[in-house]
């Protein structure tokens, strides 16, 4: 598969698969574009590309559902796979394996190239010319606090001493033509970097990137270790450096093929009220919070720029699929790094990323002689309790890899028949992320709660394990062969 290095190449690949729908009629960014996008995700339709957006400059466009499930029959993860340089036929396990493999490779630093001729520099707006009202300004949900300009873009930030550059996704809301605000949470890498600037009382330089390398949104939503450079990880994933150019007004680099780049500084104080916004958990909560202000000091953009949007809500949409792949891969890498045999992991999409399923190979006992299922699952829980990505999983189920955790039929059967309603589970109390409504209000405000790990492992072969009542499980090989031969002749 040839790597796609910008949003336009990615959209072209979707169109070739019949997974892109061009909408030529005028579409209002005030709710209408998001409503169409939301409908497309819920109905598994092609991704909408809005060619005419009312209120924006002529030629400025919006694209929705870029990371949602694909409409291509039999290949639900086609959009995610293409964004990572995989064939559109890749399965969930293949996608996780690719992300895990990239973690084991040496990082490939981005390549700084001259700005002259860079698509993202087709137009350069400085100072008062850099107004946001010439661009599409999508209001995503009717009760949102304001238009949310960033739902699928990446924020570039760097520590004051320059040791760590971070690319991450965080929602960002419009205040006026020159100011934005967004979630800057202390538990997330953006918040960690901002706190270093807050400590010295200086505003933090930032760049907000729309478009660019299709893998940006996936990697920006991953839970790489603190200090890791997402751009270098993306280079390891692609096997070649990401090309970047220097910003106009801040000492940061952004993808060469970005659609739009907003530059400026993030205030050193929480000066604005952010929210509310309907989120990935599927609920339109009314919560707001004090957050810092992004000043808009320059905007650069391509000819006929395309601004991506994610209409987050009840699963499954973009806000679930990319984080599922990233969190699952990071957990697999962490568990394997601890010497534990793991086949794969997957956050079941229908749970809004609240559950984690870990599968282990049938021969795991050979790797851990003398260890029973309770001890094995306890070790998994200890690792999860000790890492950030593990604490992001309120409920985890450990199962044999005879089932595919990304297949809901497999998963529901396994959960219903292998998970004891009260026994074979262990919980760990500790820090939790503040956006899981399954916790109590007290737990969410304290940032402290429990995660639980369930042991759903089967007995060893020959020690009580029974065959599944399936075509392959309860019929002899010679009969199965005759049935399959008869099927082939009848076609």
Residue 418 has a CB neighbour count (10 Å cut-off) of: 18
Beta strands in 127-246 (DSSP E): 148-150, 154-158, 165-168, 172-176, 179-182, 204-211, 243-246
Separation of CA 345 from chain center: 15
Cβ-Cβ contacts under 8 Å for 451 (sequence gap 6 or more): 381, 384, 385, 390, 391, 393, 394, 395, 396, 427, 428, 430, 432
Closest CA to 146 of 170, 169, 180, 178: 180
What whole-number distance in Å separates Cα of residue 293 and Cα of residue 328?
Answer: 32
What whole-number distance in Å separates Cα of residue 358 and Cα of residue 340?
Answer: 11
Q: How many CA atoms, within 13 angstroms, populate the side-chain half-sphere of residue 301? A: 24
What whole-number distance in Å separates Cα of residue 109 and Cα of residue 228?
Answer: 11
- By CB atoms closer than 10 A (0-12, 13-18, 19+), residue 405 is buried
What is Dmax (Cα atoms) for the chain? Answer: 78
φ, ψ at 3 (rounded to 5°): -65, 135
User: Out of 230, 243, 279, 330, which one is annotated catalytic?
Assistant: 279
What whole-number distance in Å separates Cα of residue 462 and Cα of residue 465?
Answer: 6
Residue 370 has a CB neighbour count (10 Å cut-off) of: 6
Task: Assess whether 279 carries a catalytic annotation.
Answer: yes
Q: Which two tokens stand for residue 403?
A: 């089932």
**Sign (positive or negative) of CA dihedral 101, 103, 109, 111:** positive
Long-range contacts (CB closer than 8 Å, 24 or more residues apart) made by 197-201? 197/160, 197/266, 197/268, 198/268, 198/269, 200/160, 201/268
**Sign (positive or negative) of CA dihedral 305, 252, 232, 345:** negative
Closest CA to 278 of 309, 310, 308, 312: 312
Judged by DSSP in three states, 459 sits in coil
Given the structure tokens 């973690």, which residue do they identify? 103
Active-site residue list: 279
């Amino acid at each position: 598969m040839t790597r796609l290095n910008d949003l336009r190449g990615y959209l072209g690949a979707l169109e070739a698969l019949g997974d892109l729908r061009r909408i030529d009629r005028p579409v209002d960014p005030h709710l209408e574009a998001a409503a169409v996008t939301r409908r497309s995700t819920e109905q598994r339709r092609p991704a909408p590309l809005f060619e005419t957006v009312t209120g924006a400059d002529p030629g400025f466009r919006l694209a929705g559902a870029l990371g949602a499930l694909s409409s291509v029959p039999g290949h639900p993860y086609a959009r995610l796979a293409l964004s990572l340089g995989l064939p559109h036929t890749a399965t969930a396990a293949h996608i996780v394996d690719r992300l895990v493999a990239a973690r084991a490779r040496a990082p490939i630093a981005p390549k700084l190239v001259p700005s002259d001729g860079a698509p993202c520099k087709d137009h350069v707006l400085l100072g008062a010319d850099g107004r946001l009202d010439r661009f599409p300004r999508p209001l995503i949900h009717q009760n949102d606090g304001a238009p949310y300009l960033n739902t699928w873009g990446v924020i570039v930030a760097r520590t004051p001493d320059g040791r760590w550059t971070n690319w991450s996704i965080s929602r960002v809301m419009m205040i006026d033509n020159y100011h934005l605000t967004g979630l800057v949470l202390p538990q997330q890498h953006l918040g960690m970097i901002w706190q270093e600037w807050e400590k010295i009382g200086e505003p933090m330089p930032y760049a907000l990137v729309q478009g660019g390398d299709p893998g940006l949104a996936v990697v920006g939503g991953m839970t790489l270790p603190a200090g890791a450079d997402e751009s270098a990880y993306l280079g390891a994933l692609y096997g070649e450096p990401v090309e970047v150019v220097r910003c106009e007004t801040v000492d940061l680099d952004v993808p060469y093929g970005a659609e739009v780049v907003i530059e400026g500084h993030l205030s050193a104080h929480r000066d604005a009220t952010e929210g509310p916004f309907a989120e990935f958990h599927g609920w339109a909560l009314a919560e707001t919070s004090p957050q810092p202000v992004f000043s808009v000091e320059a905007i650069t953009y391509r000819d006929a720029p395309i601004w991506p949007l994610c209409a987050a809500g009840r699963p499954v949409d973009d806000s679930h699929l990319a984080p599922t792949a990233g969190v699952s891969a990071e957990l697999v890498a962490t568990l394997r790094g601890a010497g534990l045999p793991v086949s794969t992991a997957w956050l079941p999409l229908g749970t809004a990323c609240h559950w984690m399923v870990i599968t282990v190979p049938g021969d795991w006992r050979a790797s851990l002689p003398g260890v029973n299922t309770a001890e094995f699952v306890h070790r998994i829980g200890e690792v999860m309790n000790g890492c950030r990505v593990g604490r992001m999983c309120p409920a985890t189920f450990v199962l044999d890899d005879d089932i595919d955790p990304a297949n809901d039929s497999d998963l529901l059967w396994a959960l219903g028949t292998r998970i004891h309603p009260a026994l074979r589970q262990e919980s760990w109390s500790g820090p939790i992320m503040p956006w899981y409504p399954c916790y109590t209000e007290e737990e969410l405000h304290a940032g402290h709660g429990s995660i639980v790990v369930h042991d759903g492992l089967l007995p060893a072969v020959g020690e009580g394990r029974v065959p599944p009542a399936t075509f392959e499980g309860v019929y002899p090989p010679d009969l199965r062969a005759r049935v399959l031969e008869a099927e082939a002749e009848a076609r």
